[in-house]
Structure 1
Amino acid sequence: MSDTPPPADDGALDELEQDLTERSAELLLPSRGKNSIPRVVSLIVLIGVLIFTAVLFFRVMALFVVPLFLAGVLVVVFEPVFKWFLRKLNHRTPLAALATTVVILASVFAPCALLTWRAYAEIHHVLGDPIWTTADPATPDGAPPDGEAEPGHFLGVDFDHLREGSPQHRFAAAYEALFRRPLNNDEINRLRQDVMEQLRSRAPKSVLVGLKAIGAFGLGLVVMTVSVYFFFADGPAMVKTLMHLSPLDNAYESELLERFAEVSRAVVLATVLAAIVQGTLAGLGYWLAITFTGAEGWPIFLLTMLTMILAMVPFVGAAAGWVVVSVGLFLQGHTGAAVALAVYGAGIVSTADNVVKPLVLHGQSNLHPLLALLSVLGGVTVLGPIGILVGPMLVAFLQALLTMLRKELDLLEEETSP
């Protein structure tokens, strides 16, 4: 008799292999079976706590959304400056971030300080005489040199006298033209008393509102400045952490970040170029109107720079500059020049904004000119001044997200197709 064991049954081996596979699956996937319900409940609770915490987080951070957003835009725009400092400072990131932050603050506040000083100098020059009167400076008794002046065509004002006088006389005559009473020492004292009474009645509320606005602005400025520094210093690490926590694919996250940088640069460039174009056109109009009429006391350069800055402010625009100059020329008796400047400002200067911005946005961010214009106007209307940045960015993000969705649907269709 042989001691050789009988051959194993193939069916028995298959059953044994299947049993081992099922046991291994149960060991590797403990969530199946009786543990599946507790894990689903745990996941639901985790999602609920996450949503609740996220809502509280965004409510706490809502006050700082705009400063953080502006800090991100500034970091994107001044990234070449940061890289330049990084090379010059032997890749010492904290020093490069600090130097770039100082450059950003200087580039924002230095022009404002310069224009404020120039405006103060001009106002001090015009209002330097403590005694304003409508009388001609050559006649101390207040009578015109040639006797009683004939009234002008606008509210009884002698516009020849208005044109020939000093800035104080022109202001006084303009006041008389508007309110039909002379601006002398008694009138100035009466106005001073009225102003003081208004200040006494409204001072507490106005001071409270002003302090609140100044505090909010100061806090936002501090948050933005600190955020700019840390975005430069720790930006790559922050982005890497957010990309790791986000459920989106890294390729999609990188694409959204690229779109953010692209649109930020495009919007800032479009705003600055549009302001430069509008300010230059307005300055040309000021020079022509003031030169050909022979009007005096108009600081053309200061008016041009102010118009350029106002052109960057939503809801204000360059119109705040040329309207004031047109009214001033009209009060000086240069009616034709005032009307011509108003038509030129409305038809050329203010219209340039609606031409330059869409063209620059189209060239820099691949947005259609019409869509770029509507995104800027809609963003400013709905969100206020910050909408000039958010509007085009939302359109660009929507375009990028739709492209991502199209890619995912195409991949899903390829995977499910036989």
Structure 2
Amino acid sequence: MIINDKPPVAPAPILSADAAELNVPRPTGKFRAAAILIVLGFSIVWAMIPFAPGILGAAVFYVVTIPGFRWLMRKHVPRSLAATLMLLVVLLVILIPGGALLSVLIDEIPTAIRGLDTGPLVQRVQHLRFGPINVGEQVARASGSIGSWVSSRVLGAVGGAARGTLNLVIALLGLYYLLLAAEEVWPRVKRYLPFTDEDSEDLRNKFYEVTMATVLGVVVVAVVQGVLVGAAFAVLGLPNAIVWGTVTAIASVLPLVGSALVWVPAAIVLFATGNVGQAIGLSIFGGVVVSNIDNVMRPMVSKRVGNLHPLTTLLGAFAGIEYVGLIGVLLGPLAITWFFELLVIYDKEYGLTDRFNLMVKS
């Protein structure tokens, strides 16, 4: 009789099918899966960066057109037809005029830059000196710098025809499918947000409000001021009225100076060339009408949909113009405002401010 005096061997732990197949404990497999998801997620985001204008554009178009879409739905218009009609509205009201404007700018900007370098004001002051300072040289240099900046930033909006066209297609297709399925998709998206249902809905409403505030408070005000100054230039016979109207729209985001950055130098040029009456007329029109657009329209926007801090508008607009061209006047402030609204919700959910205060006290 053989006696086995070896201690009994404990049975091996039972692993799940996935863990057994991976031959790793469950926690290790979980961390590896999370790492793979993170790497893939960052890769996708990195690949999508060139198309951020199209993605953000779809969101902006959706916010702007959703009131009209819901009105059509209340009139029992089929959902797909209502989405198509809103798409046509975007094409007719925004994209076609915008494309025509860019086409004109491409033709007129080189002429406007040459006009800055050889204009009457530069010619009149080219030999003017103030002590050791050559005023004429400084004016000519400043004019050339302004012209180069305007050219590079405005034409940046159409830089890369293929990418620009693709971003446009992404924005339009994104708008169409958002209108069709946003209400059905939102509950699924909300499941992955690290917030409560109440805070997720609050975040959604805040995004809608700040988008409307940006569109109305930045874009509409800029367009109105640009149109007014461009029309004034055309009436007075000043060259390149469309170019300087566009520059006025961009300059309107600047606090304090705003559109005066364009019409004040124009009035000085008119005065320097002997057109005193036109100079006085442009000064009155710019100071009384154009500059007061901010005082009239921005409070209306703030009362209806919320307010944007001027610093947010300024920094966002110039950062946006730097990266994506002319459309950055809208997308830049919008991205910054979205970020801060997200930060507010995060603070409300997880007490970011309380933790910071605790760290400071300790």
TM band (smaller chain): 0.5 to 0.7
Alignment correspondent of 2:343? 398
CA distance in 1, matches of 2:301, 2:31: 44
CA distance in 1, matches of 2:233, 2:157: 34
Query: How many residues are matched?
Result: 281
Q: How does 1:2-401 map to 2 (within 5 A)?
A: 38-88=25-75, 90-112=76-98, 213-275=160-222, 278-279=225-226, 282=229, 297=237, 310-313=247-250, 318=259, 322=263, 325-326=266-267, 329-330=270-271, 333-335=274-276, 337-338=278-279, 341=282, 345=286, 352=292, 355=295, 359-360=299-300, 362-367=302-307, 372-384=309-321, 385=328, 386-401=331-346
**3-state DSSP of counterpart to 2:172:** helix
CA distance in 1, matches of 2:179, 2:349: 29
Deviation sequence 1:101-125 (CA, Å, 0-9, x none): 1111110145447778999xxx9xx
Displacement of 1:244 in angstroms is: 2.5
CA distance in 2, matches of 1:357, 1:331: 33
CA distance in 2, matches of 1:71, 1:382: 20
**3-state DSSP of counterpart to 1:73:** helix
Counterpart of 1:333, as a letter, is G
Deviation sequence 1:44-71 (CA, Å, 0-9, x none): 1122111111111111211222211121
Distance 1:307 1:96, change over 3 A: farther
CA distance in 2, matches of 1:112, 1:247: 38
CA distance in 2, matches of 1:260, 1:365: 11
Distance 1:312 1:353, change over 3 A: same
In structure 2, runs of 5+ residues without a counterpart are 1-13, 15-23, 109-114, 125-155, 322-327, 355-362
Across the aligned residues of Structure 1 and Structure 2, the Cα RMSD in angstroms comes to 4.6
Deviation sequence 1:184-210 (CA, Å, 0-9, x none): xxxxxxxxxxxxxxxxxxxxxxxxx99
TM-score normalised by the chain length of structure 1: 0.54
Deviation sequence 1:326-356 (CA, Å, 0-9, x none): 36634752146437746874x6677557656
Q: Percent identity?
A: 24
CA distance in 1, matches of 2:157, 2:251: 21
CA distance in 1, matches of 2:33, 2:317: 38
In structure 1, runs of 5+ residues without a counterpart are 1-26, 28-36, 124-170, 181-208, 410-418
CA distance in 2, matches of 1:114, 1:390: 27
Deviation sequence 1:229-275 (CA, Å, 0-9, x none): 11111212222221123343222221111110011111111124423
Distance 1:375 1:244, change over 3 A: same
| Contact 1:278 1:353 survives alignment (8 Å) | yes
Distance 1:330 1:216, change over 3 A: farther
| Contact 1:275 1:311 survives alignment (8 Å) | yes
| Contact 1:329 1:338 survives alignment (8 Å) | yes
Deviation sequence 1:75-103 (CA, Å, 0-9, x none): 11111111233344x34211111111111
Deviation sequence 1:265-307 (CA, Å, 0-9, x none): 11111124423663586489769xx7xxxx6x469xx95x876
